[in-house]
Amino acid sequence: MLSIPPKTPTKHTTKRSIRISITLLCSVWALNFSCTSEAEKLEPYARISGIGIRECSGITKSRQTNDIYWVHNDSSSGSRIFAILKDGSLVAAFPTGLTNIDWEDVATDNSGNLYLGDFGNFLNTRRDLAIHFLKEPLKPKVGTRIKGTTYRFEYPEQMEFPPKRRIYDCEAIFWAQEELFVLTKSLGDTATRLYCFESLRADEINHPKLVGEFDIGPRVTGADATPDGKRLAVLTTSSVWVFERPENSRNYLEGIATTLRISAGQCEAICWDDQETLIIANEGRALFEVKVADLVDY
């Protein structure tokens, strides 16, 4: 049972001093970390090619077809998804017929399903946030049309549109251990919030559950989990993070974390290539590799 002792002036003053000291210490540490850790300038190993891919807003590696990576454009370039190889060359483009208000990321599961996040919400005013579910074609080839199902959702904590603080933008989705997650991109503070969809229904508005939050600093632009769900990679505008999933918990943000500050243009997409290697794509369609071994303890 939580016990709160009666306040006295001496104890109050002492506790207040301790809180101030801890706050100042954390602030100095954070400032020192940001100033002393130089950004790693990444060099692209390839560039995404192919007519129709104007930028790369999301990327995920197929767990069904060897050497295939799925990418998509942002809101201004139709509703196609594209299969590419690791060197960025185009395999095929697939019309979906789905609405693209603001596609921001794509995820895959271990059964050959794709999840497109139509949840870009810069002004925090959208009432039509959606996740599009599609089945991967077994053999990607030109001319194949992929049908999808749309699942609408809202954040249960958002009561105003827009809210006083813009904390409900989103650019990151991932699948891990039979559950679908999103990470928010906040313009109202420096935190990202982890939500989990415990179920998805096409005939109603879905409400994901808030799992946790983390003061990540720069805004989150992408995420992906390893196929076994033990590691989560998170991309921000200027850094890469890897979180180890805690035992008996879905809150990755409480796990052991490593990070690396990067400089690679406007990075928008990230996926695991193998258990120790990440692929990052920027808006200019350049592709980069990052090794987990290069990240440092947080």
pTM for the full model? 0.87
> Cα 231 to the chain's mean position, in Å?
13
pLDDT of residue 2: 28
| pLDDT tens string 2-17 | 222 333 344 443 333 4
pLDDT of residue 37: 67
Report CA-CA distances (Å) from 227 to 108, 143, 171, 257, 276: 9, 29, 20, 18, 12
77 has pLDDT over 80: no
26 has pLDDT over 70: no
pLDDT of residue 166: 97
For every residue of 120-184, which 3-state class applies, written as one string? CCCCCCCCCCEEEEEECCCCCCCCCCCCEEEEEECCCCCCCCCCCCCCCEEEEEEEECCEEEEEE
34 has pLDDT over 80: no
Overall average pLDDT of the 183-198 stretch: 98
Q: Which percentage of the chain shows pLDDT scores above 70?
A: 86
pLDDT of residue 30: 42
Per-chain mean pLDDT for the chain = 89
Cβ neighbours of residue 23 under 8 Å, at least 6 residues apart?
none
139 has pLDDT over 80: no
DSSP string computed for 18-85: HHHHHHHHHHHHHHHHHHHSPPEE---SEE--STT----SEEEE-SSSTT-EEEE--TTS-SEEEEE-
First to last CA, the chain: 33
| pLDDT tens string 83-116 | 999 999 999 999 999 999 999 999 999 999 999 9
Specify the range with the lowest mean pLDDT, choosing from 135-144, 202-211, 225-234: 135-144
Token output for 91: 């395999």
Rounded distance between C-alpha atoms, residue 225 and residue 131, angstroms = 18
